[in-house]
Amino acid sequence: MLQNCSVDPDTHELLENTTVATELKAGELVQLTFTEEKDIDTARNLSVVLSLLLVLYIASSTITFCSSALTVPGSRLDSLLITVDLSTIDTTSAMMVVTGFLCTHVYKHSTQDLAEFRRIFTFLVVDMWVSTLLSCLVGSVYLMSLQRFRIMDILLTVFEGLTSLRGVEFSQSEKTPHSLSPFSWPVLCVIIPMYLLPQTYSFNERIHLYLGSYGPYILIVTCFVWIVTLSIISSVYHHSSIFFWHASSMGYRMIEFNIGTNMFYLLHIQDPVTCAFMEWLSRYGHLLVLFMGFLWWSEFGHPWKFDQDVTCTRLYYFNACLLHSPGILARGCVLGICCVSISLQKAPISCWKSTSLDNLMILSSFVLLFSPLYMATRGILDIFFSAASVNQFSPVLALTLPALCTIMTRAYNFRVKPIVTREAGDILEELLNLLRRLFVRSSSSPPQLHSETPLETEQTSGR
């Protein structure tokens, strides 16, 4: 049985449930309070699944960093590059869907006001600012050592760090400006959709109110139509930059985030078709995950060739072209829905247990700080052991970098980030007020957590 169905499917009336506040503690970083124990299990399971996806993304990005694509010419890891390119694309799409579902679950089932939700949001923004500062400093020194420094790279990195907007890289040429933090975009693309989540959920409720039971279906079908269309166009016109423009842009990734939000809403109103589908998927979804693994592994050993003069389907400008990749974006969203269905099982996922949210926050910081930490660590290793020696042991480097950077990220999260967050709180509050005026002009006041929704208003007046 799925756990997120709490509205009568015929009358849309809220079911009367006795609620007891229970806490999901995550060490020192995050502490959430939910109304029921099953909501804690769902949040913990979603956090664990999302953490596993982040670990897979970090591992794939590490291999890319330690390969001929970026820092190690003639690396022994080059035979894995096409495999990790495909896994990166699919897992990031799945991450967006799971993140949308998790954020909506916390938004609706937490008994707190927006305080803890804002705390998580503040952590992400602080990480983004710290990452931007370090990327500009470390990245500039690193590129100077390679004689590839450009001032436009710094300006582009600062713009992305201040706005969290990706998708402004329009050329795949190595000679054009590119971000100094190319691997941070999955977390950057979540910040604005997370901030706009109350408006997104309210819009779902209004559509449901005006269009009846067909409204939520229209929203999720519209999202999938956009994704499938983009996947088909990217596959047919693989010698264009269509995929390159959209794959790491906030606008497209927000669609995937909203799929998770829409799936939560369909389960929340106890839609029978969605509940039956997710029930079936929770039983057989492991086969789909296994199939995705075989699909990635089928590209193992594929010849890797980088040609900066060719425009083609690829995620980063330093990747090889992906010529055989049907449904390259849509299948990642299906994987994300499968991960959500697995998370909604009654049995809790045991790994990491009560610290799942802490690990999730640390991993998100790792993604944002990935590039500056890796470049700094690689530079230090080059000084002590020489670049030629480090390049010769690229597999060892791929194991050493995550271990060292994990220690630094944990120290940053528990020692440095709380201090920086307190100091940056006032600045961020002013920026949030500015964003409210820009994005919520039609609303007289900011939306409050658990405030009366259009559906609830109609039910109250009917009674």
In a domain, 2, yes or no: no
Residue-level pLDDT at 50: 93
Q: What is the pLDDT of residues 373-420, one digit of tens each?
A: 999 988 888 888 888 888 888 888 899 899 999 999 999 988 888 877
Q: Which of 368, 363, 316, 401 lies closest to 134 in space, CA to CA?
A: 368
Q: How far apart (Å, rounded) are the C-alpha atoms in residues 456 and 454? A: 5
Residue with tokens 């009358």: 11
Confidence of residue 137 (pLDDT cuts 50, 70, 90): very high
In a domain, 9, yes or no: no
Residue-level pLDDT at 61: 93
Q: Indicate if the alpha-carbon torsion angle 102, 104, 105, 110 is positive or negative.
A: positive
**Cβ(171)–Cβ(405) under 8 Å?**
no
Residue-level pLDDT at 113: 57
Confidence of residue 25 (pLDDT cuts 50, 70, 90): very low
- Residue 252 pLDDT greater than 60, yes or no: yes
Q: What is the pLDDT of residues 155-171, one digit of tens each?
A: 989 999 888 887 667 77
Least confident of 88-92, 337-341, 388-392: 388-392
Helices 454-462/197-211 angle, 10° precision: 50
**Cβ(81)–Cβ(320) under 8 Å?**
yes
Residue-level pLDDT at 432: 65
100: containing domain: 22-462
In a domain, 13, yes or no: no
In a domain, 371, yes or no: yes
In a domain, 40, yes or no: yes
Confidence of residue 19 (pLDDT cuts 50, 70, 90): very low
Residue-level pLDDT at 42: 86
Confidence of residue 16 (pLDDT cuts 50, 70, 90): very low
Residue with tokens 């929340």: 268
Confidence of residue 29 (pLDDT cuts 50, 70, 90): low
Between 349 and 344, whose confidence is greater? 344
Residue-level pLDDT at 166: 76
Residue-level pLDDT at 94: 94
Confidence of residue 4 (pLDDT cuts 50, 70, 90): very low
In a domain, 310, yes or no: yes
**Cβ(127)–Cβ(412) under 8 Å?**
no
- Residue 55 pLDDT greater than 90, yes or no: yes
Confidence of residue 28 (pLDDT cuts 50, 70, 90): low
| Per-position b or e across 408-443, b if 16+ CB within 10 A of its CB | bbeebbeeebeebbeebeeebeeebeeeeeeeeeee
Q: Percentage of the chain surpassing pLDDT 90?
A: 24
The whole-model pTM stands at: 0.84
Q: How far apart (Å, rounded) are the C-alpha atoms in residues 279 and 341? A: 7
Mean pLDDT of 350-377: 80
Residue-averaged pLDDT of the chain: 80
Confidence of residue 346 (pLDDT cuts 50, 70, 90): low
Residue-level pLDDT at 117: 73
Q: How far apart (Å, rounded) are the C-alpha atoms in residues 314 and 304? A: 13
Q: How many domains does the chain have?
A: 1
Q: How far apart (Å, rounded) are the C-alpha atoms in residues 438 and 3? A: 36
Mean pLDDT of 48-61: 93
Residue-level pLDDT at 317: 87
Other beta carbons within 10 Å of 267:
24
Residue-level pLDDT at 183: 93
Q: What is the pLDDT of residues 272-331, one digit of tens each?
A: 888 889 988 888 888 888 888 888 888 787 767 767 678 888 888 888 888 766 667 888
Between 240 and 280, whose confidence is greater? 280
In a domain, 7, yes or no: no
Residue-level pLDDT at 102: 92
Helices 115-145/151-163 angle, 10° precision: 170
In a domain, 84, yes or no: yes
Residue-level pLDDT at 451: 43
Show the tokens assigned to 189.
């693309």
- Residue 258 pLDDT greater than 90, yes or no: yes
Q: Indicate if the alpha-carbon torsion angle 73, 136, 196, 232 is positive or negative.
A: negative
Residue-level pLDDT at 450: 44
